Amino acid sequence: MKRIIRIAAGLAVAAMTVVGLGAVTASAGAPGQVPDGIKVPASNRQIAFLHAHGVQTYQCTNGAWGFLQPDAILESYGRAVVLHSRGPVWTSVEDGSSVTATTVASSPVPLAVPQLLLRATSNRGPGLLGAVTFVQRLNTTGGLSPTGACKEGSTASIPYTADYAFWVATP
């Protein structure tokens, strides 16, 4: 029971940290440094900027590697705040809110998965992610698809990191 209370308290602190982030961005996410093709429309404001570590999973189909799904933990000050999974979907670990999005633009990164601009296609819940309109994947490292021959049905999970910026419409 004490462990559950400690976990819940940690999640509450993480949620307060994210709410306190407001429009704060890391320098790499500053507007002048984001490629033009993946910038968010001016009618939106950033509500969170979180660092992610996880894997990009690929599956062998018809003798070639194809993207299957991401699995990542997005953190603020070392505490898990959002889980990222197939869809792509981002889910708040504190309040259960979520956003599902689709890619609208990408920007290549040498030796890494591309940076992305994603537009929300659905939201759930009134919490942190409940009103998100856009998601940016920035500052990526790793995560590229395996190369070479593969055995049908096999999977490979390739580590990656990225920063994710979450945006909502300006009132």
pLDDT in tens, 6-43: 333 343 333 333 333 333 333 344 444 899 999 999 99
The b/e string for 13-42 (b: 16+ C-beta within 10 A; e otherwise) is: ebbebbeebeeebeeebeeeebeeebebee
**pTM listed for this prediction:** 0.82
Query: Total structural domains in the chain?
Result: 1
Question: Which pLDDT tens digit goes with each residue over 38-49?
Answer: 999 999 999 999
Residue 58 belongs to domain spanning: 2-169
